[in-house]
Chain A
Amino acid sequence: MTTPVAVRVWEGQIRTVWNAWRTSVALSMTQPFIFLAGMGFGVGALVDAGDGAQSSLGGLSYVQFLAPALLATTAMMAGAFEAMWPVHDGFYWRRTFEAVAATPVSPRAVVNGLMLWWTTRVVVGVGGVAIALVVMPSTRSWGIIPAVVVSVLCGLGFAAPIASWTATRTSDTPFAALQRFVITPLFLFGGAFYPLTALPGAIRPVAWVTPLWHGVELCRSFTVGNSSPYGVYVHLGVLLAWCVAGYLACLVTFDRRIRR
């Protein structure tokens, strides 16, 4: 009986990435809880007490507004992280991809296996948030299930394009810059902590064209039923576009790097 080749790459990734990066992974998993505790309850108490808070948050309490969005932000963090250091590791430090290249596994199968692995990684990462959503009565809903699916798309929407770029790098120095100047600002300006309408109009387009805000909107509307002003299909379309474009770019850059 043969196992699909991408599944075998995924198996290898589980062993290698987990061994090397489990500390970072474990730390990244604690992040949403810190935010939920600090922002959700601390800031939430202030926000909910303010005049007109309910209406500007679309009738939601602050915890209801924030908690589902953390599915998307956590997915972005996990996806972006996985696409940088561990991918660079595979090409450059430990050269796992070089070793794999000498086996029947093709560069395309490596990319497919990584897509599977990133999916796993995102599901594990958002799992903690999903549990918190189930535990809190105000956010408990069947909609958490599609929201987790959306967060996978959001995670892949970051992982795939970033990994395609990582495959063209020979040093890990630009990763810190990407983290600092792209991922962290998106985290803050992606509509997770306050509605996009609270931002100056000039910044909003950044949220419109990147995956995070679309993931945030979908996770929120699926879980706490806050109907988004933009259609579900538009959000899904943008997320899928990033995933597909990133995947296609990975096929090209991984092939070039591995077979150079």
Chain B
Amino acid sequence: MPETVLTQPAETATATAPVVAAVDIRKQFGAFEAVRGVSFEVRRGECFGFLGPNGAGKSSLMRMVSSVSPATSGTMSIFGLDPRTSGSQIRARMGVVPQTDNLDQELTVEENLLIYGRYFDLSRAECRRRAKDLLDFVQLGDRAQSRVEPLSGGMKRRLTIARSLMSKPELLLLDEPTTGLDPQARHVLWDRLYRLKEQGVTLVLTTHYMDEAEQLCDRLVVVDRGQIVAEGSPAQLIREHATREVLEIRVAASVVAGIESALSSLGLRTEVLPDRVLLYSNNGEQTLKDVHELGITTLSSLVRRSSLEDVFLRLTGRTLND
């Protein structure tokens, strides 16, 4: 638990108080502890990410930040308010995009927004105005009157985002906003999230895609088994936990068994994965030559820049999407 406590440098914290401040948050489901002592801060106007594999506790954290599910222990402050006593006031200033869409499939696209806006006590006229603008924003203007059920996954996701914006939130929580979407739909969504950030909305998102985290997040924490194992900007994390380059090689199945000891003379960090072997080096081409000089035959090889995936592998010994 203690190594997960994040301390903000004083000079960055002076301008504005953090939008979210969580200290030693835990969440227990029966005997199982899904979140095990997590502390973090989200600053105004930034995009903050939770990166972690399935079951890491990302959604449980998001539900606690959204002031729906109370933490079992620890303290949380959102907009300087306590979610245990001021849940309604907090939720009034926040938009939530849950992991699985909970749109009303029986209603039309527009009706979904109108009903939702009413829960924020907007007048019907104001709901209609905002719904129209938001449907244009997420490129669903021409589908306003169609039922939700036949929409594609990407359209539903965009509609859920539009719905979360009905209240003009200061803070937007997105639980895996692009999981299950095709690359084009993801890029449309990312673009919309950039624009919201430009408008000053604070974003908190979870993902298990490194590229998404690298693209969108100013800062992120890596979560594994209910704990934070690292935090920083994407570039910072890569610098601290990985080398400049990674050499990926594939070798014949007969060679895999002894490969780790065969490569040990190179003195590099190696990861033997089921389908490939990763070597962490500052000069990938040179390392490939060294591997060949050891008499190892590679079926294929690839030198690439290291990514958050490598950071994750380093920290947890597992790949993110296993």
Residue positions of A touching B, CB distance < 8 A: 1-3, 5, 8-9, 11-12, 15-16, 19-20, 94-96, 98-106, 258-260
Interface extent on B, as a size class? Answer: 20 to 34
Most buried by B among A15, A103, A260: A103
Please state if B87 and A12 are interface contacts (CB–CB under 8 Å). no
Residues of B with C-beta under 8 A to A99: 98, 102-104, 116
Please state if A102 and B96 are interface contacts (CB–CB under 8 Å). yes
Residues of A with C-beta under 8 A to B69: 259-260
The listed residue (B70, B98, B106, B121) touching A102 by CB distance below 8 A is B98
* 20 pairs, A vs B, C-beta closer than 8 Å: A2-B121, A3-B118, A5-B121, A12-B119, A16-B115, A19-B106, A98-B98, A99-B98, A99-B103, A100-B119, A101-B68, A102-B91, A102-B96, A103-B92, A103-B116, A104-B92, A106-B87, A106-B88, A258-B68, A259-B69
**Shortest beta-carbon distance from B318 to chain A in Å:** 28
Contact code string B60-96 (vs A, CB < 8 Å = 1, else 0)? 0000001011100000000000000001110110001
Residues of B with C-beta under 8 A to A8: 118-119, 121
A259-B70 contact in complex given A94-B106, A102-B96, A104-B120, C-beta closer than 8 Å: yes
Please state if B89 and A104 are interface contacts (CB–CB under 8 Å). yes
Please state if A105 and B70 are interface contacts (CB–CB under 8 Å). no
Known: A16-B106, A100-B119. 20 other contacts (CB 8 A): A3-B121, A8-B121, A12-B115, A15-B111, A15-B115, A16-B107, A94-B106, A99-B104, A102-B96, A102-B98, A103-B116, A103-B167, A104-B88, A104-B89, A104-B91, A104-B119, A104-B120, A106-B87, A259-B68, A259-B69
**Interface residue B105 (Cβ < 8 Å from any Cβ of A):** yes
Residues of B with C-beta under 8 A to A9: 119
Closest B-chain residue to A21, C-beta based? B106
What's the Cα separation between A100 and B87 when bound, in Å?
13
Residues of A with C-beta under 8 A to B116: 99, 103
Closest A-chain residue to B100, C-beta based? A95
Residues of A with C-beta under 8 A to B119: 8-9, 12, 100, 103-105
A96-B68 contact in complex given A3-B121, A8-B119, A12-B118, C-beta closer than 8 Å: no
Contact code string B277-309 (vs A, CB < 8 Å = 1, else 0)? 000000000000000000000000000000000
Please state if A95 and B102 are interface contacts (CB–CB under 8 Å). yes
Residues of B with C-beta under 8 A to A100: 119
What's the Cα separation between A8 and B104 when bound, in Å?
16
Most buried by A among B89, B104, B119: B119
**Shortest beta-carbon distance from B88 to chain A in Å:** 4
Within 8 A of A (CB), among B251-291: none
Closest B-chain residue to A103, C-beta based? B119
Closest B-chain residue to A5, C-beta based? B121
Within 8 A of A (CB), among B93-149: 96, 98, 102-107, 111, 115-116, 118-121, 123
What's the Cα separation between A95 and B68 when bound, in Å?
14
A19-B120 contact in complex given A98-B102, A102-B66, A260-B69, C-beta closer than 8 Å: no
Residues of B with C-beta under 8 A to A1: 123
Residues of B with C-beta under 8 A to A258: 68
**Shortest beta-carbon distance from A41 to chain B in Å:** 39
**Shortest beta-carbon distance from A194 to chain B in Å:** 41
What's the Cα separation between A101 and B144 when bound, in Å?
24
Closest A-chain residue to B69, C-beta based? A259
The 10 nearest A-B residue pairs measured at CB:
A103-B119, A102-B96, A95-B102, A104-B88, A19-B106, A104-B92, A99-B102, A12-B115, A20-B106, A8-B118
**Shortest beta-carbon distance from B91 to chain A in Å:** 5
Residues of A with C-beta under 8 A to B70: 259
Please state if B68 and A15 are interface contacts (CB–CB under 8 Å). no
Residues of B with C-beta under 8 A to A19: 104, 106-107
What's the Cα separation between A222 and B66 when bound, in Å?
50
**Shortest beta-carbon distance from B294 to chain A in Å:** 56
**Shortest beta-carbon distance from B192 to chain A in Å:** 19
Residues of A with C-beta under 8 A to B88: 104-106
Residues of B with C-beta under 8 A to A15: 107, 111, 115
A11-B107 contact in complex given A101-B68, A106-B88, C-beta closer than 8 Å: no
Closest A-chain residue to B105, C-beta based? A94
Residues of A with C-beta under 8 A to B102: 94-96, 98-99
What's the Cα separation between A2 and B126 when bound, in Å?
13
A11-B68 contact in complex given A103-B91, A106-B88, C-beta closer than 8 Å: no
Please state if A103 and B115 are interface contacts (CB–CB under 8 Å). no
Closest A-chain residue to B67, C-beta based? A102
Residues of B with C-beta under 8 A to A5: 121
Within 8 A of A (CB), among B140-198: 167
What's the Cα separation between A170 and B259 when bound, in Å?
50
Closest B-chain residue to A1, C-beta based? B123
What's the Cα separation between A260 and B87 when bound, in Å?
14
Closest A-chain residue to B108, C-beta based? A19
**Shortest beta-carbon distance from A13 to chain B in Å:** 10
Within 8 A of A (CB), among B4-25: none
What's the Cα separation between A100 and B66 when bound, in Å?
12
Please state if B91 and A16 are interface contacts (CB–CB under 8 Å). no
Residues of B with C-beta under 8 A to A96: 102, 104
Most buried by B among A3, A94, A100, A102: A102
What's the Cα separation between A11 and B117 when bound, in Å?
12
